Structure 1
Amino acid sequence: MKVSIIGATGYSGCELIRYLRYHPEVELTSIHSSSTKDEAFSAFYPHAKQLCTLPLETIDPEKIMTVSDLVFFATPSGIAKELAASFVRAGFPAIDLSGDFRLKTQGAYERWYGHRGAPYELVQCFDYGLAEFRQHKQSKWVANPGCYATAAELSLAPLLKEQLIELDSIIIDAKSGFSGAGKNLTQATHFTEAHDNMTLYKMNQHQHIPEIIQQLKKWAPELEAIQFSTSLIPVTRGIFATTYVKAKQPISDEELIAVYRNCYDDNPFVRVQAVGVYPTLKQVVGSNYCDIGLAYNPATNMITIVTVIDNLGKGAAGQAIQNLNLLAGFPEVYGLDQLPLYP
């Protein structure tokens, strides 16, 4: 299978290239940038010298559809919605890593992202790509989930599906490394602001909130709202999400683990930890894994869920490759069954 990447010079695009290099059934045939052309990829990323020799090209949908079988959009939100229509009209498969096609309610994108969204009919063409729970695995067009959303949804799915928690008790405290902010520099991402610091941002306004609720309501239609906060921590990669929920009935740690393993045992990229073991960022960095640890506190009747993913892996490029595998009928682990980067 031949693929192209639009937005190859961003962090997610760079990560797509790294994963695709190890995919036994996929050939990367072209890479594209809206701001650069006719330069080698290694001019931006010297670590790829001799490993990715493709030149960066301008974005030409007709040419992409001639040389490839599928296109990835690894662009910031607001770009794919302008480019995707020509691919959809031609019936050409596309996987979008931005937020342009995730929110299915009219007006939601405009409210949470702050600018005009894609036409409603185009948004409805895209299947929401939470890989472990895809309903339409052969959909030609996939809206890859956000990084925070992936961690939150995988954290809560087993409890919601089994109706084990009070729906008005969900509190998610999520922390991300700075690569999640992309390459554009802001005051918050200056070294002097980020080093030895932790910053909470977008309180009650993060664009992943409606995405998370949209997915959680598929498992619990009565759910109305969640409490969700996001912070930046001084690491390069990774999301560390701690979720607190009130149990409907007392439950042991062993029973909790059993619920999660029953849900995820057939999913190769979700690893449920043993009783009393809680995951760290280091054990998933550079990978498509989602690791989950659990605990129940009988004194408060609260369940704590600790979830870690790599925001560029399972939270972006890794899950996009996983969705490619589902679409193409490849084994789900192709291109992704490699050890995380440790230490």
Structure 2
Amino acid sequence: MLVQGRKENCVADKRAKRLTLGSHVASPSSMSFRVSASSSVKPEKDIRIGLLGASGYTGAEIVRLLANHPHFQVTLMTADRKAGQSMESVFPHLRAQKLPTLVSVKDADFSTVDAVFCCLPHGTTQEIIKELPTALKIVDLSADFRLRNIAEYEEWYGQPHKAVELQKEVVYGLTEILREDIKKARLVANPGCYPTTIQLPLVPLLKANLIKHENIIIDAKSGVSGAGRGAKEANLYSEIAEGISSYGVTRHRHVPEIEQGLSDVAQSKVTVSFTPHLMPMIRGMQSTIYVEMAPGVRTEDLHQQLKTSYEDEEFVKVLDEGVVPRTHNVRGSNYCHMSVFPDRIPGRAIIISVIDNLVKGASGQALQNLNIMLGYPETTGLLHQPLFP
């Protein structure tokens, strides 16, 4: 019933093959670097990157990760409320990098870049992206293009979709699952953090018909950085510290995104019970998922299927049986750790999946996607090991 594990040399060959993907879409000799001295820096690398919404946490993570990327260089950065300021004045930990001055979106010259990361809030992204030059490769980290069903977007996000014509060409960017589609994409909708932790373990199990489509229960927990950098009373230290807070009960906006992905692979409607919780920590995310196994299936089968599915993936690690994933062990990295455990209730299993919500749950996966879109090895700039302790 289950695919047997491949031999080590085959795994190594496959990984090596993926790390030498394609050819670059642009080279220094074929590109003209036209940059404004007031808002840009002279490019020293192959690909010029524009970053929209640079003053938020995901924007700062993009900048941090690109510091070690040999081919991508940020040459344009927007932040409307911080326009005219330097990036180091907004994020002092990035002062060692040579970065352009922040500008407002309306003053940005997109003819000076080759690709764009969009880290703007949902609801503002659609109108901006539809006006960008069509030659640009774009990875959107907001939720504005994740849902294919326009009516569903309007229902869950409370506003009309403002770029319906673009939705048809969008590719959903769950990298390990949809890599081949991402290679050909111009516009990628980067997945949400919770959907990443949930779909990575569940998609292979649903595809192999090892778990039932019904009664999937997800208990998820996130660090407070997932709520963004804006000043909010609910995110004050005295409100967050020494406590756990459930939110978005039954109505969290990641629900339709999760169900869309699971329904696609199941080829039937999948409805989940999903409850997220805010934890008194900065980074990290854990999804504890309770599933019913198909008749005759054991937890060992689930574990083996995940091992087989991800054995040649750099960023998804299926831990040995009995080893519990911990958010500490992926902090600051693009890795996802997961494992499977037997439930005390017969026929049920417990899956635990952890990521750093700002990296694999946002900026890291976005960089992984852009690497693929531009023909570079997808691990480029992303092999930082987790920060511990």
TM-score of the pair, normalised by structure 2: 0.85
Residue 37 of structure 1 corresponds to which residue in structure 2? Answer: 83
Distance 1:62 1:197 in 2: 42
Counterpart contact for 1:155–1:243, Cα < 8 Å: no
Q: Partner amino acid for 1:166?
A: K
Q: Which deviates the most, 244-253 or 232-241?
A: 244-253
Residue 290 of structure 1 corresponds to which residue in structure 2? Answer: 336
Q: Partner amino acid for 1:126?
A: V
SS at match of 2:74: strand
Distance 2:122 2:194 in 1: 15
Residue 157 of structure 2 corresponds to which residue in structure 1? Answer: 113
Query: Residue 5 of structure 1 is aligned with which of 51, 60, 76?
Result: 51
SS at match of 1:125: coil
Once the two structures are TM-superposed, the CA of residue 61 in structure 1 deviates from its matched residue by: 7.7
Distance 2:77 2:345 in 1: 55
User: Could you give the per-residue CA deviations for residues 220-245 of structure 1, whole angstroms, max 9, x where no partner exists?
Assistant: 02233111111101000111100000
Are 1:28 and 2:97 matched, yes or no?
no
Q: Partner amino acid for 1:48?
A: L
SS at match of 2:257: helix
Q: Which deviates the most, 298-307 or 153-162?
A: 298-307
Q: Partner amino acid for 2:232?
A: T
Once the two structures are TM-superposed, the CA of residue 268 in structure 1 deviates from its matched residue by: 1.0
Counterpart contact for 1:11–1:182, Cα < 8 Å: yes
Once the two structures are TM-superposed, the CA of residue 251 in structure 1 deviates from its matched residue by: 3.8
How many residue pairs get aligned? The number is 341
Residue 58 of structure 1 corresponds to which residue in structure 2? Answer: 104
SS at match of 2:322: coil
Are 1:236 and 2:282 matched, yes or no?
yes
User: Could you give the per-residue CA deviations for residues 33-67 of structure 1, whole angstroms, max 9, x where no partner exists?
Assistant: 12222211000111111324321122248712x21
Are 1:84 and 2:129 matched, yes or no?
yes
Are 1:333 and 2:379 matched, yes or no?
yes
Are 1:272 and 2:328 matched, yes or no?
no
Once the two structures are TM-superposed, the CA of residue 29 in structure 1 deviates from its matched residue by: 1.1
Distance 1:297 1:203 in 2: 24
Counterpart contact for 1:246–1:302, Cα < 8 Å: yes
Runs of 4+ with >4 A deviation: none
Once the two structures are TM-superposed, the CA of residue 163 in structure 1 deviates from its matched residue by: 0.6
Distance 1:299 1:40 in 2: 56
Counterpart contact for 2:201–2:306, Cα < 8 Å: no
Are 1:129 and 2:179 matched, yes or no?
no
Q: Partner amino acid for 2:323?
A: V
Distance 1:63 1:105 in 2: 32
User: Could you give the per-residue CA deviations for residues 198-238 of structure 1, whole angstroms, max 9, x where no partner exists?
Assistant: 01001110111001111111110223311111110100011
For residues 303-342 of structure 1, the aligned pairs below 5 Å read 303-342=349-388
Distance 2:290 2:338 in 1: 13
Q: Give 5+ residue unaligned stretches, structure 2.
A: 1-46
Distance 2:325 2:296 in 1: 24
Query: Residue 67 of structure 1 is aligned with which of 107, 112, 117?
Result: 112
Once the two structures are TM-superposed, the CA of residue 298 in structure 1 deviates from its matched residue by: 6.5
SS at match of 1:163: coil
Once the two structures are TM-superposed, the CA of residue 158 in structure 1 deviates from its matched residue by: 1.6
Query: Residue 152 of structure 1 is aligned with which of 184, 194, 198?
Result: 198
Residue 210 of structure 2 corresponds to which residue in structure 1? Answer: 164
Cα 1:58–1:293 shift into 2, 3 Å: same
Distance 1:254 1:221 in 2: 25
Q: Which deviates the most, 291-300 or 256-265?
A: 291-300
Distance 2:163 2:100 in 1: 33
Residue 138 of structure 1 corresponds to which residue in structure 2? Answer: 184
Distance 2:343 2:259 in 1: 25
Distance 2:281 2:114 in 1: 36
Counterpart contact for 2:214–2:270, Cα < 8 Å: yes
Counterpart contact for 2:250–2:275, Cα < 8 Å: yes
Cα 1:62–1:192 shift into 2, 3 Å: closer
For residues 83-102 of structure 1, the aligned pairs below 5 Å read 83-87=128-132, 90-102=134-146
Q: Which deviates the most, 302-311 or 242-251?
A: 242-251
Cα 1:72–1:213 shift into 2, 3 Å: same
SS at match of 2:197: helix
Q: Give 5+ residue unaligned stretches, structure 1.
A: none
Q: Partner amino acid for 2:112?
A: V
Q: Partner amino acid for 2:174?
A: L
Once the two structures are TM-superposed, the CA of residue 82 in structure 1 deviates from its matched residue by: 1.6
SS at match of 2:131: helix
Once the two structures are TM-superposed, the CA of residue 267 in structure 1 deviates from its matched residue by: 1.7
Counterpart contact for 2:326–2:354, Cα < 8 Å: yes
Distance 1:260 1:298 in 2: 21
Are 1:174 and 2:220 matched, yes or no?
yes
Cα 1:61–1:315 shift into 2, 3 Å: farther
TM-score of the pair, normalised by structure 1: 0.96
Work out the percentage of aligned pairs sharing the same amino acid.
Answer: 37
